[in-house]
Copies of this chain bind each other. A is one copy, B any other.
Amino acid sequence: MLSRRELIIRSAGKLFREKGYAATSMRDLAREVGVEAPSLYNHFSSKQALLRDICFGMADEFFQAFKNAVENKTTCTDKLISAGKEHVRVIYNHLEASVVFFEEWIFLEGSELNRFKRLRKNYQQKFKALIEEGVNCNEFRKIDARVATFTYLSSLNATHELMMHSRNINPDELAEQIAEIFIKGISRRLFHH
């Protein structure tokens, strides 16, 4: 059973994704939940608080997934593939919220905005570190780690668009294919993996 609070968050995620945070009114959200707008304030202190919960909730998910992904893996290649898979799996499991996480975080206000940016940078940094390590130990070619990180993550992030439009896509396979292209692209030898 879905708690009231959970239902509101989920509905907010749906609407924020469809119409964007700014274009979604509390009355829109209330209609979706099946309630009058002021009732929402019994569960959340503000519209901003809803966005905050979604964005930072998703941040937690991504960090947790990364942690699980890399443990028990040895090579940078394996770690990057696994992290990519887990990343896409999080998106798949939270299709609506993850779009909010990717595209609506700009509407976070004040210190929360900065906190969010810091978290995001931190997460990217984890991927970058793996790539740099791979370069240093000759697992990968001498590439610009910044550009490579960026290339990999933007491909992974964009999967939400694919999965949104055809829900029966297998996220593991999708991530696998992206990872394969990327890893081959930065590897020393072909058929390395």
Taking Cβ atoms with an 8 Å cutoff, the residues of A that contact B are: 19-20, 22-23, 103, 106-107, 143-144, 147-148, 150-151, 154-155, 157-159, 161-162, 174, 177-178, 180-187, 189-190
Inside 8 A of A174's CB, which chain B residues have their CB?
Answer: 147
Q: How far is the CA of A162 from the CA of B181 in the complex (A)?
A: 22
> Is the contact region of chain A dominated by helix, strand, or loop, or is it mixed?
helix
Q: List 25 A-B contacts (CB under 8 A).
A: A19-B22, A20-B20, A20-B106, A20-B107, A22-B23, A23-B107, A103-B103, A143-B177, A143-B181, A147-B174, A147-B178, A148-B177, A148-B181, A150-B158, A150-B159, A151-B155, A154-B154, A154-B158, A157-B158, A181-B186, A183-B185, A184-B184, A184-B185, A187-B190, A189-B190
Inside 8 A of A154's CB, which chain B residues have their CB?
Answer: 154-155, 157-158
Inside 8 A of A190's CB, which chain B residues have their CB?
Answer: 187, 189-190
CB proximity of A96 to chain B, nearest CB, Å: 15
Q: How far is the CA of A174 from the CA of B190 in the complex (A)?
A: 23
